[in-house]
Chains A and B, each alone.
Chain A
Amino acid sequence: MNAVTDAILNPAIGWSVLAGFSVLWVFLGWYWGRNADALDDYVLAGRRVGLALGVATAMATWVTSNTTMAAPQIALQMGVWGMFGYSLGAVGLMMFAPLAGRIRRLMPGGYTSGDFVRLRYGKTAWRVFLVISLCYSLGWLVSMGMAGGVLINALTGIPYHYGMTVILAICVSYTLLGGFRAVIGTDFVQAVLILVGVVLIAVLAIGNIGFEAIHSAALERRPELLNLLMPAAIMFLFNNLLFGVGEIFHSNVWWSRAFSFREGVGGKAYLLAGLLWAPIPIVAGFIALPVPALGLNVPAADMVGPLVAANILGATGAVLVLIMVFSALSSSLDSLLAATSILVVEDIYRRHINPAADAPTLRRATSRVIVGLGLLTWMLCAPRIATLAELLYFTGAFVASTIWPIAAGLFLRRANTAGAITGMVVGSAAGLYSYFAIGFYVAALVGAAVSMLCVIIGIIAAPASFEWRLLSEPEPAKEHAA
């Protein structure tokens, strides 16, 4: 299904590259995480991450299957606006910069985004939020597991299921060994590899084919890709921006970093990461535009990035792409595994199942949840039910509905519980409806708009008067020491 039969790399070369980098990631994971025995060290890197590592981990995590695989897909489907629309995902990182500082100050002992929603809006809103956040996390995990399988199949011909299994197994292994320290450390190495790889491929693509040939072939065979008034692409622009904002505002991947950064680092780190990330989707998306000039067959839209790169650059280029995208996928998968595991442990295990759990128990539970999440992701990846972008934007309906409950909850005392719950539930429902009725490129936009209305109506109808000090609660170890 959707398979390529003429892969550019020999499977033996593919397995060798995967084996080499797998050993490297697992070794680094073990090395960086070998002293992380305490709960705070394991799940939040001791809350002492500095600016350089902070920028690298935020940028590398945001460069994911989204950027390296789905950005070319969107460019192939939506054309020039697709590329630029994708880069608007950087706005989410930049808008989170002021939130990161405020989160760190309001919740110095916080662990998860779920902690915030529970303390700010109460248990019902918290449970609604957890459903949304866990659905999104699984969707993102599955999209990246799928991306790994698709990439390896496109470049080496290794069957989808083998590649997907290898990627998941490696990321689970080193996240398990090293916890959040390993995630942040490997993110730094992976960020460098990703940046070098993307720039090199784009430069070589332009050099090998030329702008004129790319432009004239696209104009002749796929003219709408160059049409600045392509309707779906226009609808996609703010949808992608709001999807990115929703992803970052609600996800524990970004909150856990806000908690782990040293005081004063979060705002600068997110702002710089956003600025550095913004050009990457444009460069990655550009890789899809030579398809008409090359006369290349693209069996499934999400395969276009690696197929074009391998076609233009030959075997060496294919190895380069394999390393680059393997790094991108790993940097996001490990972050998501780490952040989702602590969300499950803190918000479900400790708060619902075992409130008396001490820090060592929570540390062991986190390891088990990482393995469990890996297995669950594998089971959901196996059927390969949608393309990457379709799966990813399906979650957009949910996450965009959390933008206003989170942002208003952080800055407005008057934001109330009813408005937040209604915003998340009705916003998600409206986003899902528009996903199926219109297309994936409006789901987040509709979800965010409806949710915003609900929150504003709630503030006007029954303004709350929230006490900010209620957001500060002791850490688990200190709770039990007291």
Chain B
Amino acid sequence: MALPIVLALACTHGAFAQSGDPVTLTSDTEIATAGYFQLLWEAAEPIRLVESTTADFDDPHTVYEGSDSGHTVSGRADGTLFYRLESAATGAVLVEPVRVVVAHHPIARAFTFFGVGALVFVATAMLILIGIRTADDGTERAARSTR
């Protein structure tokens, strides 16, 4: 899996535009288990953020063009995504691509946590309901009798 990526990166490296200010592109995670992640970049000029499902950008798709310095990706299904920055003016590739794998948690794990959460909630609610009905300090009975 890693070899094609390395080769693709090596092939595209020579095409990177030269400029005085370093251009960076990073993701806040390499594996997005919740289906969302944030891309951040620094560039001195307006850029085009391009997404592809292949390392050599066979199916490029522009997700943003302008002068902002970040982009939030969310709601994506399992898969591997590649991102790169291009100059909005010239189309030159400005920085090495970033790879992010979207791999949602297994559904069994999700329902296990759901079940544990439901159990804690029901137990807490029962503690309070039973506690009110059987309060043995006399304050609840006194309060009820004055209403």
Interface residues of A (CB under 8 A from B): 1-6, 76-79, 91, 95, 98-99, 101-102, 105-106, 218, 221-226, 229-232, 234-235, 237-239, 241-242, 245, 264, 292, 297-301, 304, 387, 403-404, 407-408, 410-413, 438-439, 441-442, 445-446, 448-449, 452, 468-469
By a CB distance below 8 angstroms, the chain A residues around B109 are 231, 235
27 A-B pairs whose Cβ atoms sit less than 8 Å apart in the complex: A1-B69, A5-B68, A6-B67, A76-B74, A77-B35, A99-B128, A102-B135, A106-B137, A106-B139, A221-B75, A224-B75, A225-B75, A229-B107, A231-B109, A231-B110, A235-B110, A235-B114, A237-B117, A238-B120, A238-B121, A241-B121, A242-B121, A300-B38, A304-B72, A412-B131, A438-B105, A469-B137
Indicate the size class of the contact surface on chain B: 35 or more
Chain A nearest CB: distance from B17 CB in Å? 21
B64 (CB) vs chain A CBs: closest residue:
A297
Give the A-B contact count at a CB cut-off of 8 A. 172
Q: How far is the CA of A442 from the CA of B76 in the complex (A)?
A: 20
Chain A interface mostly: helix
Query: Which single member of B38, B67, B116 contacts A449 (CB below 8 Å)?
Result: B116
By a CB distance below 8 angstroms, the chain B residues around A446 are 116
Q: Which of A224, A245, A404, A412 has the most CB of B within 10 A?
A: A224
Q: Which 3 A-B pairs have the closest CB atoms?
A: A238-B117, A222-B75, A411-B131
Q: How far is the CA of A298 from the CA of B71 in the complex (A)?
A: 5
Chain A nearest CB: distance from B108 CB in Å? 9
A297 touches B71 (CB 8 A): yes
A231 touches B75 (CB 8 A): no
Chain B positions 72-120 with a Cβ under 8 Å from a chain A Cβ: 72, 74-77, 104-107, 109-111, 113-114, 116-120
B39 (CB) vs chain A CBs: closest residue:
A299
Check: B15 CB closer than 8 A to any chain A CB: no
Check: B70 CB closer than 8 A to any chain A CB: yes
B117 touches A232 (CB 8 A): no
Known: A442-B113, A452-B124. A3 touches B68 (CB 8 A): yes
Q: Which of B75, B109, B125, B147 has the most CB of A within 10 A?
A: B75
Q: How far is the CA of A57 from the CA of B65 in the complex (A)?
A: 44
A452 (CB) vs chain B CBs: closest residue:
B120
